[in-house]
């Protein structure tokens, strides 16, 4: 794995579009209790049953937070009312503030791992946000000066009047207890609840001046990791809509690939609106080579594609055979080169049988990904290539053998001759310093090691 990481570090990567400030709260039981008492257990329970899809008022937040804690599942819910920011700031003291957003997290991770060149782009780069990028000589932000593409460090490229996006992240630990009326709730798993800012002025796009230079950026990199499309709104007050921004996103991908066939990975994230989810899937998945998501996200995707019964089975039973079946459908219908699925207990790759990499090589790629994530969970962040070694001492989760057994059963039941399907158990940190960015870390480790293995075979 160390050799594979060294090979991956020779790559240059472009990542876009979402970077923001993550304001992190380490939740305690008494903090949750205070929130429930403020609104009343009955009001919270009623709102939980209504299951608000976005946060427009404080009670929406409390209801969805308690639901996440009760199930122990990581969740992200959009905050659409900008005026509520002051309510959050008055109710919570943030334990940590750092770079957030998939593109921001991935850029800092790759820069700290000493990848050859990391180009990060986000359409909004305020000073507060820019200063959270690591001060590394291999990290660049693209700007246009005198009609030419110039790569600067983000610290030198910020714009004073740009808006700042703040995502509030509530980290919770297994075993935390509180009361909801007569009911005592104990959190079953560690995770996080994300209140993601979705304000009108924060948009997902490439500036017009930079757009013509995307082919030049494509020539300078070996791969691109794109994310943040969950931030698109269906409609905007200026008349633009999701269709407009997705048309532009399609142009961006085609421009990146115009001069050479750059491998593009799309990191999918939960999209509450089924209509928007469908638009992102049908517009962007067919243009990219690789997609990464967790098991709940594959269920959402399958539901949007019309496979509601299969999606319900994944949501309800979380069986490996259903996830494999869903993955086969996805790579066939969207013509993906590779699909990567990450869950708390296992990582999975699904490709077509003609993929240049062997199943053993695909397994090595996933091994690197889970080890990198284990190092991040242990340390809270990755600050140098040496930190990777910390992950090697983290044991595989206790369900590892069970996962392998269920996987073999799934392969016997399903037709997999036309596919390569590999699965590995995750290295699981019992008491993680932080869970934020672990999915992004897995996808980054998997995609970049996948590229390194393709390059070794002359297939990149």
Residue range 41-63, pLDDT digits in tens: 999 999 999 999 999 999 999 99
Domain count, the chain: 2
Task: List the CATH number of the domain containing 234.
Answer: 3.40.1190.20
State the Cα–Cα distance between residues 227 and 269, nearest whole angstrom: 8
Which domain does 54 fall in, by range? Answer: 23-98+164-197
User: What percent of the chain shows pLDDT beyond 90?
Assistant: 85
Give every CB contact of residue 254 below 8 A, 6+ residues apart in sequence.
287
Residues 316 and 452 in one domain: yes
List the Cα angle 222/225/227 in 5-degree steps. Answer: 165
As a whole number of Å, the end-to-end CA separation of the chain is 20
Provide the pairing of β-strand 191-197 with 166-172. antiparallel
pLDDT, residue 237, reads 93
Check pLDDT > 90 for residue 410.
no
Q: What is the mean pLDDT of residues 117-134?
A: 95
pLDDT per residue as tens digits for the range 218-263: 999 999 999 999 989 999 999 999 999 999 999 999 999 999 999 9
| Confidence (pLDDT) at 416 | 85
Same-domain pairing of 157 and 28: no
User: What is the band of 295 on the pLDDT scale with cuts at 50, 70, 90?
Assistant: confident
The number of helix segments (H) and strand segments (E) in the chain equals 17, 17
What stretches of 243-345 adopt beta strand conformation (E)? Answer: 263-267, 290-294, 338-342
- The count of other CB atoms within 10 Å of the CB of residue 181 is 11
pLDDT at residue 318 above 90?
Answer: no
Do 346 and 377 lie in a common domain? yes
**Same-domain status, 38 and 94:** yes
Q: Among residues 157, 253, 144, which one has the least CA distance to residue 209?
A: 144
For 425-450, what is each residue's pLDDT tens digit?
Answer: 999 998 888 888 899 999 999 999 99
Same domain (yes/no): 383, 402: yes
Q: What percent of the chain has pLDDT over 70?
A: 100
Alpha-carbon gap, residue 451 to 327, rounded angstroms: 21
**Is the pLDDT score of 413 beyond 90?**
no
Q: Which two tokens stand for residue 101?
A: 């957003």
The rounded distance, in Å, linking the Cα atoms of 201 and 436 is: 25
Mean confidence (pLDDT) of the chain: 95
Beta strand ranges found along 326-390 (DSSP E)? 338-342, 346-352
Instruction: Tell me how far apart the alpha carbons of residues 357 and 329 are, in angstroms, rounded to a whole number.
Output: 21
Q: What is the pLDDT of residues 255-294, one digit of tens each?
A: 999 999 999 999 998 887 889 999 999 999 999 999 999 9
Mean pLDDT of 201-205: 91
Same domain membership, residue 395 and residue 300: yes
**The pLDDT value given to residue 305:** 93
Regarding whether 123 and 182 lie in a shared domain, the answer is: no
Both 291 and 150 in a single domain?
yes
Domain boundary pick from 152, 182, 197: 197
We report the CATH number of the domain holding residue 170 as 3.30.1110.20
Q: Which pTM value belongs to this model?
A: 0.88
Give me the sheet containing 166-172, strands edge to edge: 75-79, 191-197, 166-172, 20-26, 96-100
Considering the domain architecture, whether residues 273 and 350 belong to the same structural domain is answered as yes
322 membership: H or E segment, kind and range: helix 320-333
The confidence score (pLDDT) of residue 325 equals 94
d(C-alpha 353, C-alpha 396), whole Å: 28
Banded pLDDT at 411 (limits 50, 70, 90): confident
Q: Give every CB contact of residue 37 below 8 A, 6+ residues apart in sequence.
A: none
Q: Under a CB-based contact definition with an 8 Å cutoff, are residues 104 and 122 in contact?
A: yes
For the annotated catalytic residues, the residue numbers are 440
- State pLDDT tens for residues 339-383: 999 999 999 999 999 999 999 999 999 999 999 999 999 999 999
- Verify that 372 and 426 share a domain, yes or no: yes
User: In angstroms, rounded to a whole number, what is the distance separating the alpha carbons of residues 257 and 245?
Assistant: 19
Q: What was the pLDDT predicted at 302?
A: 95
Q: What is the mean pLDDT of residues 15-37?
A: 95
One domain for residues 431 and 294: yes
243 and 205 both lie in a single domain: yes
Helix %, strand %, coil % of the chain (to 5): 45, 20, 35
């Amino acid at each position: 794995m160390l050799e594979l990481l060294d090979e991956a570090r020779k790559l240059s990567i472009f990542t876009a579009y979402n970077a923001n400030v993550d304001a992190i709260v380490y939740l305690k039981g008494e903090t949750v209790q205070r929130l429930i008492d403020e609104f009343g257990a009955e009001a919270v329970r009623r709102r939980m049953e209504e299951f608000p899809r976005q946060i427009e008022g404080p009670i929406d937040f409390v209801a969805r937070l308690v639901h996440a804690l009760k199930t122990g599942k990581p969740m992200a819910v959009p905050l659409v009312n900008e005026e509520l920011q002051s309510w959050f700031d008055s109710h919570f003291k943030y334990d940590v503030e750092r770079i957030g957003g998939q593109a921001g997290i991935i850029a800092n991770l790759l820069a700290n791992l000493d990848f050859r060149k990391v180009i990060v782009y986000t359409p909004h780069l305020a000073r507060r946000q820019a200063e959270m990028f690591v001060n590394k000589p291999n990290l660049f932000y693209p700007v246009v000066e005198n009609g030419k593409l110039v790569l600067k460090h983000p610290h030198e490229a910020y714009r004073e009047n740009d808006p700042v996006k703040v995502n509030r992240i509530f980290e919770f630990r297994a075993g935390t207890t509180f009361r909801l009326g007569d009911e005592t709730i104990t959190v079953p798993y560690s995770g996080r609840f994300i209140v993601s800012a979705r304000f009108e002025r924060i948009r997902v796009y490439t500036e017009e001046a930079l757009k013509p230079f995307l082919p030049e950026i494509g020539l300078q990199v070996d791969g691109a990791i794109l994310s943040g499309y969950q931030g698109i709104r269906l409609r905007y007050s200026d008349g633009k809509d999701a269709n407009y921004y997705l048309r532009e996103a399609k142009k961006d991908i085609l421009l990146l690939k115009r001069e050479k066939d750059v491998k593009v990975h799309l990191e999918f994230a939960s999209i509450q609106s089924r209509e928007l989810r469908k638009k992102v899937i049908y517009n962007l998945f067919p243009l990219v080579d690789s997609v990464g998501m967790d098991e709940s996200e594959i269920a959402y995707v399958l539901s949007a594609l019309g496979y509601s019964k299969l999606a319900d089975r994944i949501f309800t039973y979380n069986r490996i055979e259903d996830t494999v079946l869903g993955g086969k459908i996805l790579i066939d219908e969207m013509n993906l080169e590779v699909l990567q699925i990450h869950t708390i207990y296992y990582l999975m790759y699904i490709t077509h049988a003609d993929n240049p990499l062997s199943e053993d090589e695909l397994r090595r790629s996933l091994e690197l990904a889970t080890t990198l994530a284990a190092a991040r969970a242990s340390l809270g962040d990755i600050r140098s290539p040496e930190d990777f070694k910390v992950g090697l001492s983290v044991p595989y989760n206790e369900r590892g053998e069970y996962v392998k057994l269920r996987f073999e059963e799934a392969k016997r039941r399903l037709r997999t001759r036309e596919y390569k399907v590999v699965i590995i158990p995750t290295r699981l940190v019992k008491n993680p310093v932080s869970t934020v960015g672990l999915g992004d870390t897995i996808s980054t480790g998997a995609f970049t090691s996948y590229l390194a293995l393709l390059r070794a075979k002359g297939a990149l």
